[in-house]
Amino acid sequence: MKRKVLIDARRRRSIPEHFTWVDHRLVRDGHIKKCSIKSLGFYLFLITVADCDGLSFYGERRISEELGCPEETVSSLRLELISAGLIAYRNGIYQVLDLRLQDSAMACVQDVGHVYKASDVVAKLIGEMKNG
């Protein structure tokens, strides 16, 4: 077994007071394969700004400014993350979901009080991507 040695000991990571994490199941359980690079960047943003319950209140405009993309792109990325079962969204509030409880076969989407089947969301997302 290889012995692990820090490459730059001066910059060894430590857990800060305002700590967030990336669940290893994101990779291990294949969730990462369900998402584009852009949506994973959005997911990283959401897990970074979320509170201890996974909630974030950032608005579309602020998110688009932080990610450097149009607000319409934020909406498409949100749908992608919802259909992948990584987040929930309702009335302007995002929730990063616990990966242990995901059941993609039963996935449904809640967006501003409406419930959609995940297959409908994916079809809409594909249509948006084809149209530009």
In whole angstroms, give the CA distance from residue 84 to residue 80: 6
Per CATH, the architecture of 30-130 is what? Answer: Orthogonal Bundle (1.10)
Q: Output 109 or 13, whichever has higher pLDDT.
A: 13
Higher pLDDT: 101 or 10? It is 10
**What's residue 77's pLDDT?**
97
| Residue whose C-alpha is closest to residue 109's, from 130, 129, 89, 131 | 89
DSSP strand pairing (108-111 vs 93-96): unpaired
Model confidence at 120: pLDDT above 70:
no
pTM of full prediction above 0.95: no
